[in-house]
Chains A and B, each alone.
Chain A
Amino acid sequence: MLRRTWISALTLGGLLLGSVAATQAAEALAADAFVKQVSNDVIDAVKADKAIQAGDVGRIRALVDAKVMPYVNFQRMTASSVGPQWRGATPEQQKRMYEEFKTLMVNTYSGALTQVKDQSVNVKPLRAGAAESGELVVRTEVRGKGDPIQLDYRLEKNGDGWKIYDVNVGGFWLVEAYKGQFAKDLANGGLDALISRLTEKNKSLASASKS
C-alpha cells in the first residue's frame, strides 16, 4: 500500500516536473521508479514465500528468472566481465559462457535473497542531467536491522524502459568483481579454461544445495 502511495506521489511529481522542465526529467524519474518497482517486487515476493525464506533453491531460481532476469542486460554483463577476449570468441563459446555465468549469477543472487527479512529499499534522488547519455546510475540503500547497505544500479535505455547492466554492492561493482575473478583463468587458458572452471563451480554448488 505504501508503495502505491509512493508511486502515485512519484507520478504526480513526474507530471509537475514534466510540464515545467524538459521531457528528460520525466525519463529520469522513470529510471528510479523502475528500480524501486523491481526491488520492491522481489522483496515482497520473498516476504510472502516461506519456502524461499527457508532457502528452497528451485523456488528462488524461479523468482529470479521471473522478476529479475527480464530487467537485466545479461549479454552486456557477460561481455564486459570477460573483457577483450569476448570479441575473439566463437558464437558457440559465447553462448556457453553466457549460460554458465548466468547460472552462477542466479546462484549468487539466490544466496543473497535468503537473507531478506525485514528490509526495505530506499531509492535516492537522481542527479540532475543524469539521463542525458542514455545511461545512468540509480543509487539505493537497503535498510534492515543492521547498518544500511549501499546497492547501486547502472541502467541503460532499452526502448521505452530500462535495463540493468551492473550492480554495486557496498562500493563494489559486480562486473569489476567478476573481471578480477576471471582474469587468471583467462590469462592462463583462455575462455575455454574459464568456461570449464565455471561449469565445475556450478556443478559443485548444485550438488551442495541438493544435499
Chain B
Amino acid sequence: MTASPAPAAWPARLLLALLAAASLLLGGCASLPGEGTHRYDPWESTNRRVFAFNEALDEAAIKPVAQLYQAVLPAWLRTGVSNAFGNLGDIWTSANLLLQAKPKQALDMGFRAGVNSVFGLGGLFDVADEMGLERFTTEDFGQTLGFWGLRAGPYVVLPLLGPSTLRDTAGLLLDFKDSGPGLAFDEPRSRNLATGLQLIDTRVRLLNAGRVLDDIALDKYILLRDAYLARRKSLIYDGDPPDEDTAPAPFKSLIKR
C-alpha cells in the first residue's frame, strides 16, 4: 500500500532529518496541549481513526490471507520463510548494535547471521539456534535513535503498519531501506512482494495473540498504545528501563555499563 518501501527510494534522508527535527521539537515541550487523554498521545482522535481503518482492513483482508497462508502452506515452508526474514533482521540488528556502540553484541549477532547465511542456505534454516547462538535481541533504527537520547515524540498510528511514534517512524524509513527485503532485493517489484510476504508472515505469528488481546481489552486502542510505548521503552533500555517516568537521557545507559 502507500506505506510500502517506496518512500525510502526518494530523499529518505531529507525526510528522516525533518521527522527527527520535528520529533525533537515536539518531544522537547513536555506536554503539548491536545485533545488526547494521554500526554504522549496528543493526536488521539486522528490516531483512533487510522486505528479503526487498520482494524477493518485486517478483518477484511490481512487476517483472512494470513489464515489461508497458514492453512495452505506446510509448516516447514512457513518456518523457512520466517527464518529467512529473521536472518535479514539479524543483519540489521547487528548493524544497529554497532551504531549503539555495543561491538561485542554486534559481533555476536553478526556471527549468528553469518552462520545462518552460509550453513542455513541463506537463512532458510536457523542452524545457529541449534548451535546455541540464540537471537538474544532485535534492534531497529528507532531503538538506536532512542539509545542516543532522541525522545519518542507523540504516538502515531501508521496506516497498515500500526503503532509507532514520531521517532520510530523516522527510524522506519531507514529500516525499510536497509533491512529485510530492502537488503535482499534490488528490484522494486520483488522487494514489494517480499515486504508483503513479510507482513503476512508476521500476521500469522500474531493470529493467536490477537485472540488473547481481544479477550482482555476494554479499549483495544489504549491497550495497544500503552503496550507499544512501554515495550519500546523497555527495548531501548534492553529490558531494564528505569522506574521513573522520564525520557531516555543521552548516554545514560553508556555510563551505567
Q: Does B203 contact A (CB under 8 A)?
A: no
Chain B binding surface, main DSSP class: helix
Q: How many A-B residue pairs have CB under 8 A?
A: 64
> Quick one: which of A86-127 are within 8 Å of B by CB?
104, 107-108, 111-112, 115
Interface size for chain A: under 10, 10 to 19, 20 to 34, or 35 or more residues? 20 to 34
Interface string of B211-245 (1 = CB under 8 A from A): 11001111100110111001111110001010000
Chain A binding surface, main DSSP class: helix
B226 with A176: CB separation less than 8 A: yes
| Nearest CB of A to B179, in Å | 16
| Nearest CB of A to B205, in Å | 7
B215 with A181: CB separation less than 8 A: no
A107 with B215: CB separation less than 8 A: yes
In the complex where A171-B230, A171-B234 touch, is A181 in contact with B218 (Cβ < 8 A)? yes
A184 with B234: CB separation less than 8 A: no
Chain B residue nearest to A111 in the complex (CB): B212
A147 with B135: CB separation less than 8 A: yes
| Nearest CB of A to B209, in Å | 8
Chain B residues, CB < 8 A from A197: 218
Of B211, B219, B225, B239, the residue contacting A184 (CB under 8 A) is B219
Chain A residues, CB < 8 A from B215: 107-108, 111, 205
| Alpha-carbon distance A198/B219, docked complex (angstroms) | 12
Chain A residues, CB < 8 A from B205: 146
> Quick one: which of B60-103 are within 8 Å of A by CB?
none
> Quick one: which of A161-191 are within 8 Å of B by CB?
170-173, 176-177, 180-185
